[in-house]
Structure 1
Amino acid sequence: MMEPKVRVLVVDDDVVVARTVQRILATREYEVEHVGAPDEVRDLLERRVAVEDWDAIVLDVNIGELNGLRVLAALRDAGNRTAVVMLTGDDTASTATAALRGGAFHYLVKPINAPMLLEVVDLAVRHTAVHRDLARPGDREATPGLIAGKSPAMAELRRMVPRIAGTSVSVLITGESGTGKEVLARTLHQASPRSKKAFVALNCGAIPEGLIDSELFGHTRGAFTGATSARPGVFVEADGGTLFLDEIGDMPLPVQARLLRALQEREVRPVGSDSVRPVDARVIAATNVDLARAVEAGKFRADLYFRLNVVSLRIPPLRERPEDIPGLISTLVQRHAAGQTPTIDEDALAAMVAYP
């Protein structure tokens, strides 16, 4: 039985650009539908906006008198989960920020780069498939002991973990310090086909800028003062497994560019080396920073944000889920009780739950 063709909708009033996109995507044998005339776009907004007929949408920011960002907003307001790739002639941070805040999967700057378009649309198709799967009801959950809590938010995380773990897409975990972002990342790794390989964690905010390249990509002997022996770097250490990049929002901009290249090319070049090494590591990133605001401020690359944010998971702080506090306290007490069975005074427990 033949698999159904991947369907891509192109929304652009520039026929030359639309044909270029169609020609490039035809090399993947994607089925491409073009909408460009104002009446066609209005019909899309009025009658087809909630219909998920496509696996990806390529949408121009400017469509004649219409605004592509408004089309994007209409899609999202209607609950359409299809990944949207924005096309723009403006490469300023404000445009990228408007796109990502509006729910775009990625954005590309014209003139169109064929390899980049193919790569981004391929990722968009995978993104759509993952999010449609996550939207379907399912009973299987992650091990409760790994993601503790009876609140709806934590139950939803447990429901999502097995589905996300089975893919190789990048995941961005957000949450305040201490909410358990690394625990969630380890849970994803342990539930994945990569579980028999290494889980390697790197705190991007704890390493000086001058050393982070070496930590990420490795170095050769003598590459710099103090490099008395070669080191593989965390990408190579996590080859076949999972690389957890904690506090990704603290990574310096020049390093972000080199990280983006490693993610795009799936290869690393150790510091001091003339050769590259292929790597296959699933990347899970975490941050307590509002990356959308960091992009707007010019402190974080928009293209790296889009690359990491294929699936986003948020861990709410305990003040938003006080019903989880008793169970969490019980788990911690038992873990550190050295075989004893201590009890928690009810007034003390109530005070902790009520603490602002």
Structure 2
Amino acid sequence: MPRILVIEDEAAIRRVLVKILSEENKTYEVEEAEDGLAGVDMIKKEDYDLVLCDIKMPKMDGVEVLELTKKLKPEIPVVMISGHGDLDTAVNTMRLGAFDYISKPPDLNRLLNTVRNALDRKELVVENKLLKKKVSKNYEMVGDSPAIEQIKDMIEKVAPTDARVLITGPNGTGKELVAHWLHEKSERSVGPMIEVNCAAIPSELIESELFGHVKGAFTSAAKDRAGKFEAANGGTIFLDEIGDMSLSAQAKVLRALQENKIQRVGSDKDIKVDVRVVAATNKNLSKEIEEGKFREDLYHRLAVILIKVPALNERRDDIPILINFFADKIAQEQGTSKKSFSA
């Protein structure tokens, strides 16, 4: 049951918002606070899936509430409520991490669409956190060969920065693992890590998947939907097998990297995003560029740091360690004694 907190000092508007949300979806549990101080106190004590917060309030304004919420519980999306004279401030709150803003008096459709999109994003963030815990618990970078030690050392140096990273190597070498380590050892680890397998998504759907869409953008677009870049805001997006991405999608990714903003399919509204991009491929992108299948300008934007993960036949010293690791893992999972292997 989604929990929504409405922070608004004008009682009439607060009651209208609570009434609209409660009647729109009976599963919404809507609570209210009459000022910023009371709202922050409730956020400290309770877990909410969404906060709607007025900008101009006595005691503590909405900008301060937003900043404190992002420090206390960064996974909670915050939608700002702005008066006619607050538009510049509302836009600025997007740069500070607000999910979106709505104007007073609230337009019903805009309000409900924004709430649905914000709750969708919160659900994605929660799912991603669970996945991240699972990955962190169950996987390790196994090996002590010079090649693996070099990768570990590079991760330690690169992870704390916001530099984009391109990971190359054959299938099954652990490119995804490197991406997870880069995220988990960075300051963005408190935010989401969103994975996109570009090879698994049909070319006609990849742009909608990455950037979202608005209602009516295409036949099956029944409602507005946030994309993966929005879901990754404040964290990392991992574009796996980016060499399989269509040229039109590559152009939009390039714009997102250049300008830190995206547009949903069917919309001309810019949406600011704060995302670190990590990409991976098993292809020779230099060859793909020569053949006109991959944009050279996008390659240079992505490959600020290049990490090559070697195939197992290039690090044979790790084979006994890997065998021992997986023998331990299988024994633990199946509750059996560990099997021994001879070299």
What TM-score does the superposition give when structure 1 sets the normalisation length?
0.56
Give 1:219's aligned amino acid: H
Give 1:240's aligned amino acid: G
- SS of the aligned residue for 1:243 comes to strand
Structure 1 stretches of 4+ moved >6 Å: none
User: Deviation per CA, 1:34-72, whole angstroms, max 9, x where unpaired?
Assistant: xxxxxxxxxxxxxxxxxxxxxxxxxxxxxxxxxxxxxxx
Give 1:341's aligned amino acid: S
Counterpart residue number, 1:164: 158
Counterpart residue number, 1:323: 317
Measure, in 2, the Cα distance between the counterparts of 1:156 and 1:147: 12
Q: Tell me how far 1:213 sits from its aligned partner.
A: 0.5
Structure 1 residue 305 corresponds to structure 2 residue 303: no
Measure, in 2, the Cα distance between the counterparts of 1:334 and 1:267: 46
Counterpart residue number, 2:173: 179
- SS of the aligned residue for 1:286 comes to strand
Measure, in 2, the Cα distance between the counterparts of 1:345 and 1:157: 27
Counterpart residue number, 1:342: 338
Measure, in 2, the Cα distance between the counterparts of 1:291 and 1:146: 28
Counterpart residue number, 1:40: none
Q: Greater helix percent: which structure?
A: 2
Measure, in 1, the Cα distance between the counterparts of 2:243 and 2:186: 25
Structure 1 residue 218 corresponds to structure 2 residue 199: no
Q: Tell me how far 1:273 sits from its aligned partner.
A: 1.7
- SS of the aligned residue for 2:224 comes to coil
Counterpart residue number, 1:34: none
Counterpart residue number, 1:188: 182
Q: 1:9-48 counterparts in 2 under 5 A? A: none
Which sections of structure 1, spanning at least 5 residues, go unmatched? 1-142, 351-356
CA RMSD of aligned residues (A): 1.7
Give 1:187's aligned amino acid: W
Q: Tell me how far 1:155 sits from its aligned partner.
A: 0.5
Measure, in 2, the Cα distance between the counterparts of 1:210 and 1:336: 40
Counterpart residue number, 1:99: none
Structure 1 residue 263 corresponds to structure 2 residue 257: yes
Q: 1:1-356 counterparts in 2 under 5 A? A: 146-337=140-331, 338=333, 339-346=335-342, 350=343
Q: Tell me how far 1:341 sits from its aligned partner.
A: 3.0
Equivalent pair of 1:146/1:187 in contact (CA under 8 Å): no
Measure, in 1, the Cα distance between the counterparts of 2:236 and 2:326: 27
Counterpart residue number, 2:110: none
Measure, in 2, the Cα distance between the counterparts of 1:332 and 1:244: 26
Give % identity.
50
How many residues align? The count is 205
User: Deviation per CA, 1:76-130, whole angstroms, max 9, x where unpaired?
Assistant: xxxxxxxxxxxxxxxxxxxxxxxxxxxxxxxxxxxxxxxxxxxxxxxxxxxxxxx
Measure, in 1, the Cα distance between the counterparts of 2:223 and 2:203: 20
Give 2:340's aligned amino acid: I
Equivalent pair of 1:218/1:271 in contact (CA under 8 Å): yes
Q: Tell me how far 1:334 sits from its aligned partner.
A: 2.0
Equivalent pair of 2:252/2:262 in contact (CA under 8 Å): no
Which sections of structure 2, spanning at least 5 residues, go unmatched? 1-136
Q: Tell me how far 1:150 sits from its aligned partner.
A: 1.1
Give 2:337's aligned amino acid: T
What TM-score does the superposition give when structure 2 sets the normalisation length?
0.58
- SS of the aligned residue for 1:168 comes to coil
- SS of the aligned residue for 1:313 comes to strand
- SS of the aligned residue for 2:320 comes to helix
Q: Tell me how far 1:323 sits from its aligned partner.
A: 1.1
Equivalent pair of 1:147/1:183 in contact (CA under 8 Å): yes
